[in-house]
A and B are shown apart, each in its own frame.
Chain A
Amino acid sequence: MSDFLRLVRKEARELLRPRYIVPILVVPIVFLAMGQGFSGVEDGANEEPAVGLVMNDSGRYADLLEETYDRRANVTYRGANVSAETAIEETRGSGGKTVIVVPRNFTERIEDGAAPGRVETYTVVDNLGIAGISSAGAGTAPLGEASQVIAANATGAPPGQLSPITATETSIVRGERVDASPSSINSDLFGQLFFVPVVIVVVIVFSGQMVMNSMGIENENKTMETLLTMPVARRTIVAAKLAGSAVIGLFAAGLLAGSMFYYQSSLSFGDGGGGLPAQFSLGPAEYALIGVSVFLAVVAALAMALCLGIFAGDQQGAQVLVLPIAFVAGAPAAVTVFTDIGALSLPLQAIVYANPFTYPSLAPKALLVGDPLVIVGGTVYQLVFAAAMVGLAVRLFGSDRVVTGDAGRLSDIFESLQR
């Protein structure tokens, strides 16, 4: 086995210890649990509601309402001329949560036409969670359809007259015509314009945290000096730390991305968007460019973290020192998700474009709207930046600083941050 692989294995083994990996697994588990919860809500919402019907009116419109409920719900209790309390108790006993009481004058009021027929609804809410409230409300949903059926029967009007207006929605997005409403477009683009930048930031931060952990472990275990005096080139040690941390960081980020995707999917039940034309989806070349951009961002973040990790006194200090990287990597993602960089003032634009972590976050949006040059140029800039950061890390590992932890003029800042 080569020295490099031996060191990568060592890094991975140390970083996979429960004390480092468990805190990282907590977030994906929370997302999975939340996703599971929302899936449960969706399942509950799609189930046929169990209801009780109290029919105090035997007129034709009351019959139509009852027929609608027979089609759309599971009527577990039927009664007439009983109190609401009795009906509720009986319905609960038979597994239902909603009671619909149709009063004696229901049909008469509709026939008079002066006022709508009135029904009373009683809903039992035992579970104050989202799933409980959502499923409890399902029992009154068939009233809408019953209303339509009664209106058609009472007036003899065809469906087109009962719902006389329907709209076809078209949006013009950056000059491109899309046959969908802005909200539908937002729903369709959500994954690419929000989810991708967030995942990119998570990958960068997790990988940075891993390399920080690696340095923290070396400092806590006091193994760094022994490692540095072995017959292994310093650049091999640097490369192994970057690779080992990247493997675990990408693994952790993959888990989080998967759990976030699951969570997001569980939220988007119902209308999934209007479907976008081909020009609003990314092709293989665009995905490849995003991949290169993300890779370079991860390499740069790892090298930056390695440089900062040299000055981490211990594990806790390393956690603090990863924050600047999280901020530098996360700020452009926030900008690209919530606004358009072109809408910023010129100085702010310069700051955003000078940040090499802007390009992976910006890439999905820029490539979707046909603006690839800024991403190609940005990727070249990222390549130069990543090479410079790796060079700096190798240089620091070859200097006294890796042993003394002396950050020169920045010493006071690093020490106060880790206090």
Chain B
Amino acid sequence: MPDAAVTVRGLSKRYGNVEALTDLSFTVERGEIFGLVGPNGAGKSTTLRILATLLTPDDGEAVVFGADTQTDPNAVREAIRYLPEEAGAYENLTGRGFLSFVAGFYAEDPDPMVERGVELADLDERITDKTGDYSKGMTRRLLLASALMTEPRLAILDEPTSGLDVRNAREIREVIQSYPGEERSVILSSHDMLEVEYLCDRVGLVDRGRVVAAGTPAELVAQTGTQNLEDAFLEVTA
């Protein structure tokens, strides 16, 4: 049986006196969408940043497709694309120019990748406008397209629909939902329980720096004897 896409064991991380993560563990299987759910400050973004090699844990390990984020960060970066919660694009580039800039790091011939990105972004003629003129929803779609066009083995998406209107959020969910494959997994964080229930194959409920429960949305609801994931979350974090 192949390794899991992501294996996180006993992660701890402190910012000064604040304990962001405490012995946090979970796994993401190949081909699945895994959701980290929790309130603000629960440790979701810190976990994703450790997986993206941006932060180093004080303790524990995070392994992505067999590569340790601390000892082999370059191999991890080859396997992932990371979409931060508040990411932006270079305002002086057009949407197509930004996709081309990113694609250049991943392919000898970036043109097919750029065309895939243009298709995923679905911005029509606005793809040739400067990104500084984009709305938040357009920027988010461009960034998600730039992340997925490179076909990473693991897409790390931090609050992918945060702050978007209903239409933009739904379109982005559809793109994410269609992404996983045998060698393509997604880990995302969200506050939106409905979104998580709709998108994720499995969910980890995060509270005060640790995963307090994990399973499919149906399993978590059944385990807690509640009606939905939101109630299940409130039940296990009570």
Task: Give A contacts to B, CB under 8 Å.
Answer: 1, 3, 6, 10, 13-14, 17, 217, 220-223, 225-226, 228-233, 399-400, 403-404, 406
In the complex, the chain B residue whose C-beta lies closest to that of A13 is B92
Residues of B contacting A400 in the complex (Cβ-Cβ under 8 angstroms): 54-56
Say yes or no for B87: interface residue by CB 8 A criterion: yes
Q: Is the CB of A229 within 8 A of B89?
A: no
Say yes or no for B179: interface residue by CB 8 A criterion: no
B70-114, CB < 8 A from A = 74, 77-78, 80-84, 86-93, 101-102, 104-106
Q: What CA separation (Å) do A399 and B54 show in the bound complex?
A: 8
Cβ-defined partner of B77 (8 Å) among A17, A221, A230, A399: A230
Q: Is the CB of B87 within 8 A of A6?
A: no
Residues of B contacting A404 in the complex (Cβ-Cβ under 8 angstroms): 15, 55
Q: Is the CB of A232 within 8 A of B105?
A: yes
Residues of A contacting B82 in the complex (Cβ-Cβ under 8 angstroms): 225-226, 229
Cβ-defined partner of A229 (8 Å) among B16, B52, B88, B92: B52
Q: What CA separation (Å) do A6 and B16 show in the bound complex?
A: 37
Residues of B contacting A406 in the complex (Cβ-Cβ under 8 angstroms): 15-16
Q: What CA separation (Å) do A1 and B104 show in the bound complex?
A: 8
Q: What CA separation (Å) do A107 and B53 show in the bound complex?
A: 98
In the complex, the chain B residue whose C-beta lies closest to that of A222 is B88
Q: Is the CB of B81 within 8 A of A222?
A: no
Residues of A contacting B80 in the complex (Cβ-Cβ under 8 angstroms): 229
Task: Give B contacts to A, CB under 8 Å.
Answer: 15-16, 49, 52-56, 74, 77-78, 80-84, 86-93, 101-102, 104-106, 143
Cβ-defined partner of B105 (8 Å) among A222, A223, A230: A230
Q: Is the CB of A222 within 8 A of B84?
A: yes
Cβ-defined partner of B89 (8 Å) among A3, A13, A221: A221
A-B pairs with the 5 shortest C-beta distances? A222-B88, A229-B82, A221-B88, A231-B77, A225-B84
Q: Is the CB of B87 within 8 A of A229?
A: no
In the complex, the chain A residue whose C-beta lies closest to that of B106 is A231
Q: What CA separation (Å) do A41 and B83 show in the bound complex?
A: 61
14 A-B contacts, Cβ less than 8 Å apart?
A: A3-B104, A6-B101, A6-B105, A14-B92, A222-B86, A225-B49, A225-B84, A226-B82, A226-B83, A232-B77, A400-B54, A400-B56, A403-B55, A404-B15
Cβ-defined partner of A230 (8 Å) among B56, B87, B102, B143: B102
Residues of A contacting B87 in the complex (Cβ-Cβ under 8 angstroms): 222-223, 225-226
Q: What CA separation (Å) do A239 and B49 show in the bound complex?
A: 24
Residues of A contacting B16 in the complex (Cβ-Cβ under 8 angstroms): 406
Q: Is the CB of B92 within 8 A of A17?
A: yes
Shortest distance between the CB of A370 and any CB in chain B (Å):
50
- Beyond A1-B104, A229-B53, 17 additional contacts (C-beta under 8 Å) are A6-B105, A10-B101, A221-B91, A222-B86, A222-B87, A223-B87, A223-B89, A223-B90, A226-B82, A226-B83, A226-B87, A226-B143, A229-B52, A229-B81, A231-B106, A403-B54, A404-B15
Q: What CA separation (Å) do A230 and B16 show in the bound complex?
A: 28
Residues of A contacting B84 in the complex (Cβ-Cβ under 8 angstroms): 222, 225-226
Q: What CA separation (Å) do A400 and B58 show in the bound complex?
A: 11
In the complex, the chain A residue whose C-beta lies closest to that of B75 is A231
Q: What CA separation (Å) do A184 and B54 show in the bound complex?
A: 61
In the complex, the chain A residue whose C-beta lies closest to that of B146 is A226
Residues of A contacting B49 in the complex (Cβ-Cβ under 8 angstroms): 225, 403
Shortest distance between the CB of A238 and any CB in chain B (Å):
15
Shortest distance between the CB of B162 and any CB in chain A (Å):
13
